[in-house]
Every structure is written in structure tokens, then in C-alpha cells.
Structure 1
């Protein structure tokens, strides 16, 4: 992987202490979560309280949610600093804890902090709406790692500062075995979720000349090798022999041939009840013969955000090892307007045998995903989730705030939305009425790849859903949420790695639920 993120080397440790002093810890900065009530009633450590009172009286720091304020510790040297983080007047949800932690991490980055400690209040759960130590630990860990992410730079002069190297959670007082276990599990999950999200961000941020289909295949093989997963990559000759006509058609206009990537995670003795994850892997999208506008085309490096997301999920599964079976399929291609490119008006035969009328070569994602869905079914998948930066239309409906979802199974979608509420990633369901299914029918083929602007996000998703062949399925359109124009919440400017955490959360909830 050519990308680089702070999560590759940040270490998260737990240290509990019974004394009240913090000076003996060899860290550059302390983080302290502050509520106005805690300052007023004097429940915070006296050292911090004496610093906070004048700040609040002078209105420099009001402990508003996510507000940060850094104060040097007298006589402690260049980096001995306390970073106060506002919690507001009420307990924070897990998502709010994530954001508070991310803001603290960003403040630490500006100060070029290397070693960081979060001094937890006793009781910490006074700040947590869920009143659950594991949930709080996971949220804080995720937020700190996600907030400390920095994309790879390609400048001639590179800073010697490599980011936050170590994080320690500190808390005074005696801690019971159950609480310690909850904290350890929360940190373990938080690391897996956040690091896997950062992996997806790294891949999505890579320039198109550094990530062609073969590079994406090698990145997947690297993840599989790290965890001992079964994996395979089909090249263009094998794709033609098998008849994956959709993937071949989209990729044939590029000098970089397409690839079909498969990674399997087997967490149960028998290969059954398999979950299929399918991610759109268009490593760069010009629109093909239906060429896109010049303005904004550089952001099409993110058109493989769905592939990055499902690969991030596989990385998380390798760390967490749940008792589930998952097969991941990525159809990888470049959509280029070369002399061999597919054209509007073409009829192509998909891997399923269905024919596709091509009306718009810039509606290529659904065409490659059609073949990938069929391939996932052949590998035993009985439930399917596809993730794709699929339509510009989803931005008209949901902006860059929420991921659009289309499904043929209300119960499965409801479970998934509950998982998204736990992860903090917003998902909004769109209807799949019969009239929308009818809109994708073609006069000359089995199905057409474009229905025009009306209902475009829904019909694009239903095109893919056709190839689920009636199996429970969810489509996630991340065209708005995979790549942001500016920093927001736990997400940086650029690639977000969206849906890694929600899909992982949903998969972990599937343990033991299969019939």
C-alpha cells in the first residue's frame, strides 16, 4: 500500500493509577474532558480546576461541546501541555465522544505532540449517555485514531514530524476486573474499526497513476496475507474465459486491464451462511465515451471508495475474528475513452447471462458490480451488501451528509440502520417500489444501465439488486460521503473510509443469528 496514516504506528495502552499526580508520566500532552458543572462543583483535579476557572471567567474556554483549548504546564518544558476538551452540559453520546476525541487529536497534531495521555475522570461514565464502559472506550479510541489521520504527502520537503506515536488512557482510583475487561475490549474494537477505516482512506486518497486495477489487487492480497485469508485475482484472460462481460466491457478502454479480486474470511467451521461484500473498484472514472466535465474530475480517484470500504472491513474482521463467514468481491477497472472503449448503444452480456443495454458509459459502476454480485453468489453468499460511489444524484438528495441505501429486505435494512446509529455513520433508506424496478427494463435487452435523472439513485441501486437474484441485499451509495471537500466530525478533508465501521458493526451483530 502506497498510502500512509498515523494509525499504522499509534499505540493505545491502558494505565490505571491510584495516586493523583500526573507529572511522572513521560508524555508531551494530557487531554482532559471538561463539563461546566465539573468546574463549578470542584469535582475535577485541583490542578486542572485552578487553570480552568480563569479561562472560563474570561470566556476563553466555556467547555462547549467539542471546544478545545491548550494550555502549557508551567515548568514542564516545550511539550508539557494540557488540552481541555469541552463536553457541554449533558452526557455525550458515543458519536459525540468520538468527535470530542477527534478534535483533541487534531489539536495535538497542531502542537506536534508525539506522546499523548487522556486523563479519564472518575467516574468517566458521567460523560457518557450510553453508560457503558466498553462503548465509551471504543468511541474514544476510534475518535483519537480517526482524528489523528493524515493523508500521504508528495511534496519535495517533508516534515520530520510523523504524528502521534503513543496514546495512554489514565484513570485514578481502583478499577474492578469487569471494568478493566470492558475497557480492553472497547479499545480492541476501536483500534480495529479505526485502523481499518484509515486503510480505506489511504487507498481512496491515492492518485490514479499510483492505483490502477493491479495495484488494488496487490493491496487486497497484502491484507489477505497479513491475516492468512484465502484470496485470488482473476486477470483479463480469465475474465473473458468465464464470461464476465460487464467488467471486461468497462475496462477494455484502458491500457490497465481489469481485475476481479476475491478475499474470503472463514470464522465458522463450515462454509455456510456466507455474507457477500461487493465493492465498486473503478480506480479512475473519466466517464468513458460519455466523458465527464473537466471540473471536479480529479476527485474521481475516489471512485473505488466502495472497494476500499469492503477491503477495510476484511482487515477489521482479521483483527476481531468474529464467528461469521464473509466473501469479499471487488471488480476493479479504469473507465477510459480509449479506442477499444465500450460505447452508448452497445449490448453486453453479463456473467449472469442477462444482457445489458448501455445508454451511458458513465453509468459503469453498476455494470461491473452486476458481474461481481453473480460471482459472490457463486462463492456461496446468501446475503449481499454492495458499496459504491454510484450516482451524483445521491448528492442532490442527501448531500455529503448521509449514505443512501436501497434494499429488497426491510428487516435486513432495519438491522443495518441500527448498526449505523451505533457507528455514527448516517444511512438513509430510499424506497424500492415496483415502479422503480420497471424503469430499468430495456426494449432490446434484459436491462438498461441508465434511466435518466428521475429516481436515478434508486434505479441505479435496483440495477445492481437485480443480480442478487432475490437474496437479501442492501445497496449503499457513498458518492456523497466517501470524499469530503472539508473536514467534518471524525472525518478529514478527502477520503473518509465511510461504511467500514457500520458494515463491521453489522457483521459482528450477525454472530449466532443465522438459522
Structure 2
């Protein structure tokens, strides 16, 4: 595992393994322009540009050996299009991938004046946060279980150095340092969620997920409730028990209480789906790709990652985090299609597909949050394959009963570089969940599957403001992309943290 040490300033900015220069196409087009690293090193980059081998496009990178002409062995040029959070986050990720390939353990990042001073759309703090996030998130690769374990964690020392013409003085430096530290916190929360989601199913079971939550709670002083299967039965959690009873590993309902505004009655309820492995149950999934179902607790990981950030920043709000953890397995005890269960809310559900299990445990999780005082609700879940059909792996799908709350979430996602796309929730979709045997059934069929899956959960929101985020397409990638890693991406950690901490 790599540790990052970020510093800012010119003092002691001597030799490093690599000097990182952010560069735009406009700079490359200039004839005989300013010196970037060293005239001869710069000349090599201009030669590559003239031949069309380096265009300074977003995320493009080129390493040039300095051959002793500049402190450090490599000059690393990274293309970016302008001072926006997404551009800088992607530039940071591109730099990280190149530094990793070069086996660098120290780097100087030269800050152009436009980046250091920020602008109306991207402040200095936001620029620093985004670039730091990009470096840390872009460096990450899924850890391998090896016969020979790696030695102690290595460290990458990154020093941000203003270029000679960069202005702003101490004030700009202070703003950069503040944003840099915030970016480090946000990235650490997302990396925690990635590591948790990437864990094999034989290592992470519902009880283990509860232990991770307890550790976070104890570290930051949250009140923690771990509701075991016996208490869950007593409390009438038919959805959680129904899904979990097919496994040898019993389910858990996990609750973290953060009280940052004790005089306020406003309580944010953030709810995560924590299916630590999903076979589909009796409605068994296909074998191809089932190994990726270790990631079916990506929503729970996002909630825990965000709560780590909340614990560090301590915003003046109240947050109730609820995670429904279970393992969905086929056995002689498992739920069967056609079974009718009674949820914690008292609503009855006809189970027509045991692979639509996430919404069953989330039904009880919403009721748990509401009974503990939540006044607005956001649930995060790898809920449906249908969202990937509709949006691919590019955007998270959203369903809501409150447009204002949804727009707040979308704005936070835009700031974090995590796209969210709303689906309609017309009454006709809700009618697809009507059941002849119970209050509702747990699947409305193939048509509009993302919407009906979300509306099933919304039926348990008790008319409170509620947003459902379906991350089934965005929480797991089969190839790395920008600052998003192959495997678990930790999506929605930073969006949740941005939403809650900036209030």
C-alpha cells in the first residue's frame, strides 16, 4: 500500500525523482515560449508535439529523461485543458500512473499561476483538492493476495511548488494547503471503500462488515448499534432475515449515529446495501461474472467511506448511517420464489425473484433509519443490472420522490466528478409492483427495472424526502478509467461526503 505525503512551498524543493509539469495545448503551440523545465528538455517535448506524438490532450502524459540537466531523473509532462476540478483530477491521476510506472518515490508538481490562483468555477482550494484526489485515486490498484506479502508500505512524497510566475503569495499557499488536506481525506475515504469492496467473499461476511463499522465508530466516537439475527427477528426485520437465512453467515443491521448538531431535529439518513456476496439465491445467477458479486456491498462501502470523512471533518449536522448486511445464498433454508414475507414496516412482500434481494434488506434499513429519527433519506445500492443497460458504467442512476433533494445530490456529484442521472418515477411504474398475494412484489419485471427497483425501496420511505442511487454500473469497472480503478471504484463516497460536509 502506498502512503502519500503532500507538502507545499519552495523551501527545500531540491531534487526529486520527477518534476511534473502541467501543460496545455496552447502552451505547446507557442513558438520559442517560456522555459518549462530546461531548454533542452523542453525542446524534446516540442519535437514530440511537432510530430503529433504528444498533443497535450486531457490526461495525456509524456516522460522525458533530464540527463542531468535538471534535478531529478525525469520530467513528466501532463496535458490538461483548463482549471476545472475534473481536468485537474484527471491530470493528477495521469501523473500518478506515470509516476508509478517510473517507480518514483518523490515528485515536484509545478503549479502554474492559473491553477494556483483558481477561478470562479474552480477555487484554489477546489483545485488543490481535485489534484490531490487524482494523484491518490489514480495510483491505486487492487491489492493482490500473494504467497509472499509486501514489505512495509512505501511512501510517495509530493511537493507542490509554485512556478516562478505564479502569484497569490502566502494567501494562495494557505488555500492550496487547505484544499490539499481535504483532498487527501476524501481520497482516503474512497480508497477505504475500494479496499472493502475488493475483499473476497470468504474474507468479508456480514459479521466482518459490522466489525469494520464498529472500528470506524470507535475511532470517531460514533454511537454504534449492531443488530444481530436474533434481535432482527424480534424487531420484525423480515426482509433482512429472509435474505440472510439461506447462508451459514447470519445477517447484521448496522447503525452509526453521528451527532454534530445536537440542537437540530434534522437528521440525514444514509443507507447502504451490504450484500457481501450475491449468488442470486434460489433464482441463481449465471456463472459468468458471478465472482464480481463480491462487490454487491459497494453501497455499504460508500457509506462507511463517507462516514470516515465525516468523522474527520466533524460538520455541524446529524447523520444516521444504516447498513443492511447479508449474504444471499441458495440452501434448504433460503427464500423461495412465491414466498410472502413481512417487513419491519409491516408491509408484506411477495418474493417473485430471490435475486432482487437488495431491495428487501434496504426496506428494513429505511424503516430502521426512520424509527431512529432520520428526516431525509439517501440509499446507495448496487441494485439492478438494468441501470447498466440504460447508462453503461458512466453514470449512476437516481430515483426520487423529492426533486430538490435530488438536485442537491446531483450538485455534490458534479463537484466530485461523479455523474448522476435521474430516472422518472411515474405512477405507472409503481403499478408494476402490485401483487395478488401481498402489499407489493419485489420485482416489476424487465421493463423499467431500475425505476421499479428504486420505487420498491421508496415505498418504505414513509413520504420523507428520499433519493435512491443505483451504482450497479459505476461501482465496479473491468478496466481502469482516469482516476477510477479496475475493480471497485469507491463511487459515491466523495459525493456523499461533499453533500454532507459542505452544508
TM-score by structure 1 length? 0.92
| Alignment of structure 1 residues 48-127 onto 2, 5 Å | 48-58=38-48, 59=51, 60-75=53-68, 80-88=73-81, 91-124=82-115
Alignment match, 2:4: 10
Alignment match, 2:413: 420
**Alpha-carbon distance between aligned partners in 1 of 2:437 and 2:488, rounded to the nearest angstrom:** 39
Alignment match, 1:456: 449
Shift in Å, 1:153: 1.0
Q: Equivalent residue of 1:186, what SS? A: helix
| Alignment of structure 1 residues 40-51 onto 2, 5 Å | 40=30, 44-45=34-35, 47-51=37-41
For each residue in 1:89-110, what CA deviation from the matched residue of structure 2 results, as whole angstroms up to 9, or x when unmatched? xx24211110111010011111
For each residue in 1:30-87, what CA deviation from the matched residue of structure 2 results, as whole angstroms up to 9, or x when unmatched? 2110124335266644534531233222434332221111122223899632211012
Shift in Å, 1:128: 6.5
| Alignment of structure 1 residues 65-214 onto 2, 5 Å | 65-75=58-68, 80-88=73-81, 91-124=82-115, 130-157=121-148, 162=153, 164-172=155-163, 175-214=168-207
Please say if 1:38 is aligned against 2:32.
no
For each residue in 1:413-449, what CA deviation from the matched residue of structure 2 results, as whole angstroms up to 9, or x when unmatched? 1121122111110100000011112221212211110
Alignment match, 2:355: 362
**Contact 1:92–1:129, Cα closer than 8 Å, also in 2:** no
Please say if 1:25 is aligned against 2:14.
yes
**Alpha-carbon distance between aligned partners in 1 of 2:85 and 2:187, rounded to the nearest angstrom:** 14
Shift in Å, 1:117: 2.1
Structure 1, unaligned runs of 5 or more: none
Assess, with a 3 A threshold, how the Cα gap between structure 1 residues 47 and 97 changes in structure 2: closer, same or farther: closer
Alignment match, 1:270: 263
Shift in Å, 1:322: 1.1
For each residue in 1:113-138, what CA deviation from the matched residue of structure 2 results, as whole angstroms up to 9, or x when unmatched? 11222121234358868352111111
**Alpha-carbon distance between aligned partners in 2 of 1:336 and 1:131, rounded to the nearest angstrom:** 47
**Contact 1:148–1:164, Cα closer than 8 Å, also in 2:** no
Please say if 1:221 is aligned against 2:214.
yes
Shift in Å, 1:164: 4.5
Please say if 1:337 is aligned against 2:339.
no
Please say if 1:317 is aligned against 2:310.
yes
**Contact 1:32–1:119, Cα closer than 8 Å, also in 2:** yes
Structure 2, unaligned runs of 5 or more: none
Alignment match, 2:286: 293
**Alpha-carbon distance between aligned partners in 2 of 1:61 and 1:285, rounded to the nearest angstrom:** 45
**Aligned-CA RMSD value:** 2.1
TM-score by structure 2 length? 0.94
For each residue in 1:451-490, what CA deviation from the matched residue of structure 2 results, as whole angstroms up to 9, or x when unmatched? 1101111000000011110000000000000000101121
Please say if 1:498 is aligned against 2:491.
yes
